[in-house]
């Protein structure tokens, strides 16, 4: 058993795979910060009475200086670019992943935890504190920038990222059954949830899903949807197997589940929807040899 665990965790992988994950996750996180800049920025103006520290800011009971938070947020974006490029990674890797954790934690320290940044924050911590800057990095000498190097040093962080992804889904699946019980599996909880979530958005003057509201009329749709959701979430552990077919099955069904959440409740989980959340499951370094990327890189070289 321990030998099998050892073999699973310390599986050799090319340095370019971990580096490609660094580029994908770094790029995603930086774009996310820019896209949600207004939400992050206005966090500094939320009322002091709402402060309720979570995670690494559990001790927080009053707001931070707006200037300090704004500077930290801007610095996080700048370091996100450097992280993606792999520049000065021994310093930038840990610093960016901790700063991302800090600004995301602070945004969620005002009374309600939303779940869009949990997985990317954990993935960035893994990438930031491991050797994901050993290949495809700006400013490294060619002999150091060996994309073909195979080692467990590059494999175990990827296996941890996979494990974190799987745990996220399994926990979400268990929570639903634990709270909703049998009513979750019969679809009643899901139907009421879709109705309530859309109604709340309407009453709070926010974009909602008219499609989800319309679907609520058809009660028979919800039992199969609830069972399918539970199978996708609790069944996520199949992605731990080193079989591409099972991994694709999990990734595509989980992605479809998130598309369903957008369509029925107008709730977006951008990390899985971007598919970057599932990238650790695959040999992502192969994207550099696809025709499209090769052509783009060649064109850039001519310029």
Partner 1 sequence: MINQHDSFPLSPYPMFSSRRTTTESVDTAVFVTESGNIYRLNPEIIAGTDEVILAAQSVSLSIANGSTAQLCEEISGRFDADTAGQIEVVTEVFDAVNWYADDKSPISRTVHATCQDNS
Based on the shown chain and the rule CB under 8 A, indicate whether residue 295 belongs to the binding site for partner 1.
no
Q: Is 31 in the site for partner 1 (CB under 8 A)?
A: no
Determine, following the binding rule CB under 8 A, whether residue 160 of this chain makes contact with partner 1: no
Which of 177, 179, 176, 126 is CA-nearest to residue 154?
126
Among 134, 198, 270, 277, binds partner 1 (CB under 8 A): 198
Strand partners of residue 151: 13
**Max Cα–Cα distance, the chain, nearest Å:** 63
Binding of partner 1 by 239 (CB under 8 A): no
Contacts with partner 1, 253-292, as mask; x by CB under 8 A? ----------------------------------------
Cα(36)–Cα(29) distance, rounded to whole angstroms?
A: 10
Cβ pair 271, 28 in contact under 8 A: yes
Q: Determine contact, residues 174/234, Cβ cutoff 8 Å.
A: yes
Please work out, in degrees rounded to the nearest 5, the angle formed at the alpha carbon of residue 119 by the alpha carbons of 115 and 120: 110
Smallest distance from partner 1 to CB 5, Å: 22
> Could you give the count of Cα atoms lying within 13 Å of 179 in the half-sphere of its Cβ?
10
97 scored as a contact of partner 1 (CB under 8 A): no
Instruction: Name the residue nearer to partner 1 (CB basis): 145 or 274.
Output: 274
CA 117/CA 90 separation, integer angstroms? 24
Piece in contact with partner 1 (CB under 8 A), picked from 72-80, 83-91, 128-136, 203-211: 203-211
The label of the residue with tokens 């467990």 reads 152
Piece of 61-69, 214-222, 273-281, 284-292 that binds partner 1 (CB under 8 A): 214-222
Helix or strand or coil: residue 123?
Answer: helix
Q: Which stretch binds partner 1 (CB under 8 A): 40-48, 64-72, 80-88, 242-250?
A: 40-48
Nearer to partner 1, 13 or 216 (CB): 216
Report if residue 29 touches partner 1, rule: CB under 8 A. no
121 binds partner 1 (CB under 8 A): yes
Is position 38 an interface residue for partner 1 (rule: CB under 8 A)?
A: yes
**Which CB, 197 or 285, lies closer to partner 1?**
197
Q: Interaction with partner 1 in 161-190: which residues (CB under 8 A)?
A: 168, 171-172, 174-176, 178-181, 183-184, 189-190
List of residues contacting partner 1 (CB under 8 A): 38-39, 42-43, 45-47, 49-50, 54-55, 58, 101, 104-105, 108, 110-115, 117-119, 121-122, 125, 168, 171-172, 174-176, 178-181, 183-184, 189-193, 195-206, 213-214, 216-217
């Amino acid at each position: 058993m321990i030998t099998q665990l050892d073999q699973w965790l310390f599986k050799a992988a090319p340095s370019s795979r971990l580096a490609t994950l660094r580029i994908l996750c770094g790029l995603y996180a930086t774009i996310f910060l820019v896209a949600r800049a207004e939400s992050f920025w206005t966090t500094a103006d939320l009322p002091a009475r709402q402060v309720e520290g979570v995670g690494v800011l559990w001790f927080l009971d009053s707001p931070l200086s707006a200037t300090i938070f704004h500077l930290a947020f801007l610095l996080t974006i700048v370091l996100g670019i450097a992280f993606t490029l792999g520049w000065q990674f021994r310093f930038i890797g840990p610093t960016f992943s901790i700063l991302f954790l800090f600004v995301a934690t602070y945004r969620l320290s005002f009374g309600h935890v939303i779940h869009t940044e949990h997985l990317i924050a954990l993935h960035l911590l893994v990438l930031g504190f491991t050797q994901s800057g050993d290949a495809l990095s700006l400013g490294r000498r060619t002999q150091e920038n060996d994309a073909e190097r195979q080692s467990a040093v590059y494999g175990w962080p990827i296996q941890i990222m996979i494990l974190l992804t799987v745990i996220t889904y399994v926990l979400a699946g268990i929570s639903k059954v634990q709270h909703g019980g049998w009513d979750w599996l019969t679809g009643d909880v899901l139907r009421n949830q879709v109705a309530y979530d859309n109604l709340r958005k309407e009453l709070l003057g926010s974009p909602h899903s008219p499609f989800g509201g319309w679907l609520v009329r058809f009660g028979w749709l919800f039992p199969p949807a609830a069972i399918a959701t539970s199978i996708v979430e609790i069944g996520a552990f199949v992605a731990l197997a080193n079989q591409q077919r099972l991994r694709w099955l999990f990734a595509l069904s989980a992605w479809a589940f998130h598309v369903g959440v957008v369509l029925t409740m107008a709730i977006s989980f951008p990390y899985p929807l971007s598919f970057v959340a599932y990238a650790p499951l695959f040999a992502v370094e192969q994207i550099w040899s696809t025709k499209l990327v090769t052509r783009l890189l060649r064109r850039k070289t001519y310029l």
